[in-house]
Amino acid sequence: MPDTYITTTLPYVNARPHIGFALELVQADVLARYHRGRGDAVRFQAGTDDNSLKNVLAAGSAGVGVREFVDRNAEAFGALGGALSLSVDDFIRTSRDPRHRPGVEAFWRACSADLYRQRYTGLYCTGCEQFYTPAELLHGRCPEHETEPEPVNEENWFFRLSRYAAPLREAITTGRLRIEPAGRRNEVLALIDGGLADFSVSRPATRAGGWGIPVPGDPGQVVYVWFDALCNYVTALGYGQGGPVHGEAYRRWWARPGSRVHLLGKGVLRFHAVYWPAMLLASGQQLPTGIFVHDYLTAGGRKISKSGAGAGALEPAALAAEYGADAVRWWLLREVPRVGDADFTVERLVARADDELANGLGNLVNRVVAMIGRYRAGRIPAPAPVPPGGEDLDAAIRQAGDLVGAALADFDFRQATAAVWAIADEGNRFVNRVRPWNLAKAGSAGRLDAVLHLLARACAAAGRELGPFLPDAAARVTAQCTPDGAGRLPDPRPVFRRLAP
Ligand SMILES: [Zn+2]
């Protein structure tokens, strides 16, 4: 089985995390757990981008020192791991991690043939941390932030991106670098075909408030935060450590054949699908194998703002504390489409969890365990042929694994969870159709055995297939369906609580 390296982007820590970023973390966690479950070696990495000018400005308006401000918010991002039951293997903080700075310096030097100094005048959006050409603006404003960029005239280091159009195009069109969904791949190809201008990769240290990594050999400049941040995908693996051989983790997870998958939001596509691969090519490294791009969440029909009114109520840790990590994860996985934005409200989260988890899967497990307790003293009947009327449920059980695998290979979390949900849905339908209590009353012991056996299979399959998506709930479902040493199932206990008041 191949080694699989999965990363999320590093969010700025200019504010506390919101539900939109939880989407990416949960998606990455599902992939990591799924591959681990198949026996693949997996490394799942997340972290925070501390060295952004945005952080410096936000600390200033909060009246707090940059270090204290960055540490405080970065801690809130780190705490999401526990709150959302994430299986993160490695969490890198670009301002504190001792692996990062030497790696960035080595990366910079490895690109030196493509770096040059030049005076530059441009329009800079601090929100995006990037220069915009007038043609890229919407009515003179940043398309992401709807703010007016500020004119900047300064001397910077530039990266010769213009050299890499042909190799980038080749990597993407051959599928060596897979970009999903296809609309995003086409967007990147259009960017490349539109002509790639060299981009600035440093800032005067004075404008950065002294925050950031000094350019090797030019301490008056700091490395541009995007160049710095993108390097995390390899610095955390030990790139630049131990000389030209780099660290052992780097050799294993990046230099060897395997999967190297980045998850990211549509707003940072150009950085990950154009700048980053070009930087890797310039420094003689392998490219990622996959880039998966998600769209954005809105909240109650409005763009999510980290600091706007009600932002606190949209903190994923607060939502998980109130409604449970299972409910938050389930909403993100079940309702957010592969393409297109999704609108988050607490009402939708509660409705989805109650419908499908408490009243759907939870109800099924509870009924089945109770019936096996009542009619068969807690012992699951021996395997029997599928009883009449159980064909659809049997098919849902048998197909779930393949459907989940195919959907996840396509980064389609909604399809993947639909395959798990189908087991619960068909299971409840089957119970309502065959009415096992009538079979018990009528003394149809053989029929009842076959029905209960199929239902026990359904619950066990649901627990197994649910694992990557809702690890906590999956463990509870599996515990309910697993006989003890005496061969008996435990007493029925609700696996989900109802959330609606
Ligand atoms: Zn912007």
Question: pLDDT tens, 22-48?
Answer: 999 999 999 999 999 999 999 999 999
Query: Looking only at Cα atoms, what is the longest distance across the chain?
Result: 89
CB-based burial label for 49 (10 Å; 0-12, 13-18, 19+): buried
Task: Pull the structure tokens for residue 284.
Answer: 């003689």
CB atoms within 10 A of CB 227: 26
Position 197 scores a pLDDT of 92
pTM above 0.85, yes or no: yes
In the prediction, which pLDDT does 14 show? 87
Structure tokens at 356: 């499908």
Report CA-CA distances (Å) from 467 to 80, 166, 203, 426.
Answer: 19, 42, 46, 19
Cα of 163 vs centre of ligand 1, distance in Å, is 26
Q: So what's the pLDDT on residue 310?
A: 57
C-beta of residue 258 within 8 angstroms of C-beta of residue 1: no
pLDDT of residue 309: 47
Task: Give the highest mean pLDDT range of 10-19, 311-320, 347-356.
Answer: 347-356
Q: Among 18-22, 52-56, 185-189, 332-336, where is mean pLDDT lowest?
A: 52-56
Residue 326 CA, chain-centre distance (Å), reads: 15
Give 55's pLDDT tier (boundaries 50, 70, 90): confident
Q: Measured in angstroms, how far is the CA atom of residue 4 from the centroid of ligand 1?
A: 33
pLDDT at 80 over 70: yes
Tell me, in angstroms, the distance from the centre of ligand 1 to residue 147's CA.
Answer: 7
- Rounded average pLDDT over 434-448: 97
pLDDT digits (tens, 9 = 90+) for 160-175: 999 999 999 999 999 9
Report, as an integer, the average pLDDT of 71-80: 92
Task: Answer yes or no: is pLDDT of 12 > 90.
Answer: no
Using left for φ > 0, alpha for ψ between -120 and 50, and beta otherwise, residue 3 falls in beta
Burial of 106 (0-12, 13-18, 19+ CB in 10 A): buried
Q: How far is the CA of 164 from the centre of ligand 1 (A)?
A: 25
Cα 65 to ligand 1 centroid, rounded to whole Å: 24
**How does DSSP classify residue 314?**
G
Distance 122 CA to ligand 1 centre (A): 14
The mean pLDDT of 48-70, rounded to a whole number, is 88
Other beta carbons less than 10 A from residue 387's beta carbon: 21
Structure confidence by residue, pLDDT tens digits, 134-157: 888 999 999 888 999 999 999 999
Residue 336 CA neighbour count, 13 Å, CB half: 29
Dist. CA 194 → ligand 1 center (Å): 21
pLDDT digit string, tens, across residues 244-297 = 889 999 999 999 999 999 999 999 999 999 999 999 999 999 999 999 999 999
Write the DSSP string, 130-154.
Answer: EEE-GGGSBTTB-TTT-SPPEEEEE
Position 311 scores a pLDDT of 61
Q: In the chain, what percentage of residues exceed pLDDT 90?
A: 83
Q: Which of 136, 182, 427, 453 is nearest to 292 (CA)?
A: 182
- 370 forms bridges with which residues in the sheet? none
CA of 141 to the centre of ligand 1 (A): 8
Residue 210 confidence (pLDDT): 73
Q: 336 C-alpha vs ligand 1 centroid, how far in Å? A: 24
Mean pLDDT score, 82-104: 94
Which residue has 């009619």 as its token pair?
375
Answer for the pair 279, 230: CB distance below 8 angstroms, yes or no.
yes
201 CA to centre of ligand 1 in angstroms: 17
Q: In terms of Cα–Cα distance, which of 397, 474, 389 is closest to 432?
A: 389
CA of 138 to the centre of ligand 1 (A): 11
Residue 497: predicted pLDDT: 96
For residue 174, how many other CB atoms are within 10 A of its CB? 9
pLDDT at 307 over 60: no
Whether omega before 468 lies within 30 degrees of 0, making that bond cis, reads no
Whole-number pLDDT of residue 312: 66
Whole-number Å distance, alpha carbon 131 to ligand 1 midpoint, is 9
Contact at 8 Å (CB) between 231 and 103? yes
Ion ligand 1: residues, CB < 5 A: 125, 127-128, 142, 144-145
Smallest CA-to-CA distance from 90 within 165, 81, 140 is with 81
Q: What is the 3-state secondary structure (H, E, C) of 54-120?
A: HHHHHHHHHCCCHHHHHHHHHHHHHCHHHHCCCCCCEEEECCCCCCHHHHHHHHHHHCHHHEEEEEE
Starting at the edge strand found earlier in the chain, the sheet holding 218-223 runs: 202-204, 218-223, 214-215
Mean pLDDT of 473-487: 97
User: Which strands sit side by side in the sheet containing 297-299, from one edge to the other?
Assistant: 302-303, 297-299, 342-344
More confident residue, 298 or 333: 333
The Å distance, Cα 289 to ligand 1 centre, comes to 28
Categorize the per-residue pLDDT at 53 as very low, low, confident or very high, splitting at 50, 70 and 90.
Answer: confident
Measured in Å, residue 148 CA sits from the centre of ligand 1 at: 8
Ligand 1 centroid distance, CA of 52 (Å): 13
pLDDT at 1: 63
Q: What is the pLDDT of residues 211-254, one digit of tens each?
A: 889 999 999 999 998 999 999 999 999 999 988 889 999 999 99
Would you call 395 helix, strand, or coil by DSSP? Answer: helix
Helix (H) or strand (E) run with residue 443 in it: none
Mean pLDDT of the chain: 94
CA–centroid distance, 55 to ligand 1, in Å, is 14
Strand partners, 265: 294
